Chains A and B, each alone.
Chain A
Amino acid sequence: MMTPAPVALGSKEAELRAAFWDQVATFPNGSKIRDCIQCGTCTGSCPVAHAMDISPRELVALFRAGFLEDILRSRSIWICASCYACTVRCPQGIRVTDSVYALKRLAAKKGIFPKTFPAHALSEAFVGNIHSFGRNWELWLGLKYYLSTHPTGLLSPNVQKFALRMLRRGRLAIRPTRIRGMKEVRAIIKKAQSMGGL
């Protein structure tokens, strides 16, 4: 599956790496990832490492070996639930969770996975809600997510039972709350995008 590391990086890998360094420059100590000693504390602390195809420690090892594109294609970065266990335990002070966010943004920006990739599709649906209403509307989030990934999921008794249960208890809004300041929200989004988004 994986080819040996080339002596010189391919142009695509080089471009992705440059974009990655730009991303990690946006938080303090972002470049500390260079100080990784491969101790595995991150992987040992990660509650979802068992479900990853590349463990957190291996992400750094593969990055060093020139396989950033493989990392961006992995499901690992989207399995990360941002619990920060690795970040607070890393003996080298590496901002692991923030680095994974940087990888997610890079993968999203480069469009390096199918549109129906679950965690990414959920993020897209979530962002879409903010663009439409300024707030998250949970019912619409669920509908949009299932429609864009696996529409048959909506027919699942588990999903329907969950929705009904919340509705009965008044814990699912049937209408969105649209904020009054949508003009401000749109102006912020437009401006941030014009500034490159980093």
Chain B
Amino acid sequence: MEYAYYPGCSLEATGRPYDVSLRLVFQRLGIGLKEIEDWNCCGATSYISMNKLTAYSLTARNLAYAERMGLDVCAPCSSCFTILSKVNRHMRWGEEHKAHINEVLAAAGLSYSASLEVLHPLGILVDFYGIERIQERVVRRLEGLKVAPYYGCQIVRPQGRFDDREDPQQLDNLFAALGADVVPFPMKVRCCGGMLMTSYEDVALKLNRDILTAASDAGADVVVTTCPLCQINLEAYQDRINKVYGERFHMPVIYFTQLLGLALGLSREELKLDEMVVPLPTTDQRRIEVHA
């Protein structure tokens, strides 16, 4: 298994622990990741709000480079995943739409025939690699750890291929198989507000407070996420939420690849767990049993 890797801008900075842990987990499982050469920003929700053809064509530049590699695309950021998938589907919608984008790409000497699939690493791990094979590699079971699986909005709908758009099970099944106690989490696909945290902070704070309340009420020790924007909103703004709403959240919010990496025997340092704002309690405190 090998994929063309599109990290996206967040994973170069605020989402660095996601990039590092994803690469290590894939390496440990023997799944290849080749970074798309000189990739550019997907434009996220911003460029498509301003100019659609430019936004789609800039995204298609990345797909064109991936197609030269002959590999399906792995996009870990929910926003990148959504935009890349959207453009891919748009170009498969009809020959005229493909030709339209390719007319723009031609100005840069590029073309894309829409032959690739755009995938999220969660889908690659659970649906293609398989939970059973992951279990075979586990060296440290997550026994006793209460996990709230947070999928966020964009990877689940409408571009994702998840089992259920309202109550997806991929993260639930993955971490249950690793021994964790996956708590019922009704807010698992509720939106975190994304960039609203910058433009309309009051609106986004409420969304994140609601999600954290659900995780806390369910008795979760940790929230696992699949998206850099969800991660930063839920984690880095926690003290702001506490101040505004008089709450006392101290909830670790980590990438699903970081927790999976721990189960696979990678260290906290390797997985950049020390770069998180709210620290994940150490294994001793949480009595995660080690079955070597």
Contact = CB atoms under 8 A, between A and B. Distances in A.
A137 B240 CA distance: 24
A88 B109 contact: no
Nearest to A133: B41
B105 A188 contact: yes
A171 B17 CA distance: 9
B50 A123 contact: yes
Interface in A73-112: 78-79, 81-85, 87-88, 101, 104-105, 108
A179 interface: yes
Given A81-B191, A88-B157, A122-B199, A184 B50 contact: no
- Secondary structure of the A contact surface, majority rule: helix
Q: Which of B49, B52, B107 has the most CB of A within 10 A?
A: B49
Interface string B103-117: 111111110000000
Contacts of B199: 78, 118-119, 121-122
Contacts of B57: 188, 191-192
B27 interface: no
Interface string B189-228: 1110111101110110001000000000000000000000
B173 interface: no
Nearest to A120: B49
Contacts of B105: 188
B154 A83 contact: yes
Nearest to B110: A184
A162 B153 CA distance: 24
A145 B40 CA distance: 21
B14 interface: yes
A196 interface: yes
Interface stretch (A2-10, A32-40, A64-72, A124-132): A124-132
B2 interface: no
A105 B190 contact: no
B9 A135 contact: yes
* Residues of B in contact with A, size category: 35 or more
B43 A138 contact: no
B49 A108 contact: yes
Contact of B195 (A26, A122, A173): A122
Interface string B42-82: 01111111111110011001000000000000000000001
B50 A191 contact: no
Contacts of A51: 200, 202-203
B9 A138 contact: yes
A54 interface: no
B50 A84 contact: no
A99 B25 CA distance: 38
A89 B9 CA distance: 31
Contacts of A88: 157-158, 165
Given A88-B157, A130-B41, A192 B104 contact: yes
Nearest to A190: B107
Nearest to A142: B198
A172 interface: yes
A185 to B, nearest CB: 6
A126 B198 contact: no
B49 A101 contact: yes
A158 interface: yes
Contact of B109 (A104, A135, A184, A190): A184
Given A79-B203, A82-B154, A179-B39, A127 B53 contact: no
A109 to B, nearest CB: 8
B83 to A, nearest CB: 10
B277 A165 contact: yes
Nearest to B152: A83
What 5 A-B pairs are tightest by C-beta distance, nearest first? A83-B191, A83-B153, A126-B46, A191-B107, A184-B108
